[in-house]
Amino acid sequence: MPTLAAHTNYIKHLNVFFAQVRKETRLQANHVSLYLALFQVWNYHRFQNPFPILREEVMSLSCIGSRSTYVRCLKHLDHCRYIIYAQARQAYAASYVSIIPLADFIADPHPEQLFLFQDPKAASMRPKSEPHDLLKTGTL
């Protein structure tokens, strides 16, 4: 029987994920794209764990065109403990994935606001404005 992640905060979860991606050396663009596609399907299933996934749907959402890349990335996300992947026993049956609530495994569940377009070493030089203000003015 699926369990409901009753206190899943969509924004907080994604903020923690991207803070981890920034520090993570094992993940590539395909992993991030696949995780975001899985997160979207998880959201569709109202954050129940585990939830069914269909290869064609998730490959389309993640823009991954190769089955081998898709399976390799799924297994690697499982190995890195971002998800729990249970492969289908039959070729066209649904596989199941559980997304691990990241706030449960991160020491700081409230990461600093992400400054995606700045050097993290230049923290003392960060502007007081919001990131969307930086995009409007063109000063990055």
CATH number at residue 96: 1.10.10.10
For residue 49, report the phi and psi dihedrals to the nearest 5 degrees. -125, 135
Give the model's confidence band at 27: pLDDT under 50 very low, under 70 low, under 90 confident, else very high. very high
In this prediction, residue 135 carries a pLDDT of 47
Same domain, 11 and 54: yes
Domain check: are 85 and 55 in the same one?
yes
- pLDDT given for residue 63 in this prediction: 98
Specify whether 121 is located in the same domain as 53. no
**Do the Cβ atoms of 88 and 58 come closer than 8 Å?**
no
pLDDT at position 86 is: 96
Q: Is 72 exposed, middle or buried (CB count within 10 Å of its CB: 0-12, 13-18, 19+)?
A: middle
Is there a single domain that holds both residue 34 and residue 94?
yes
135 and 123 share a domain? yes
The total domain count for the chain is: 2
Greater confidence, 42 or 140? 42
In degrees, rounded to 5, the angle at the alpha carbon of residue 76 between the alpha carbons of residues 101 and 7 is: 10
Cα–Cα dist 113/61, whole Å: 27
Provide the pLDDT confidence category of residue 75 given band limits of 50, 70 and 90.
very high
Looking at the fold, whether 37 and 100 belong to one and the same domain comes out as yes
Average pLDDT over residues 71-88: 95
Same domain for 24 and 70, yes or no, is yes
- Domain range for residue 72? 3-109
Whether residues 126 and 138 fall in one domain: yes
The answer, yes or no, to whether residue 128 has pLDDT greater than 70, is no
Q: How many angstroms separate the CA atoms of 140 and 132, rounded?
A: 11
DSSP output for the chain: --EE-TT--HHHHHHHHHHHHHH-SS--HHHHHHHHHHHHHHHHTTTEESEEE-HHHHHHHHT---HHHHHHHHHHHHHTTSEEEE--SSTTSPEEEEE--GGGT-S-SSPPPP-TTS-GGGGGG--SS-HHHHHHHT--
pLDDT in tens, 52-64: 999 999 999 999 9
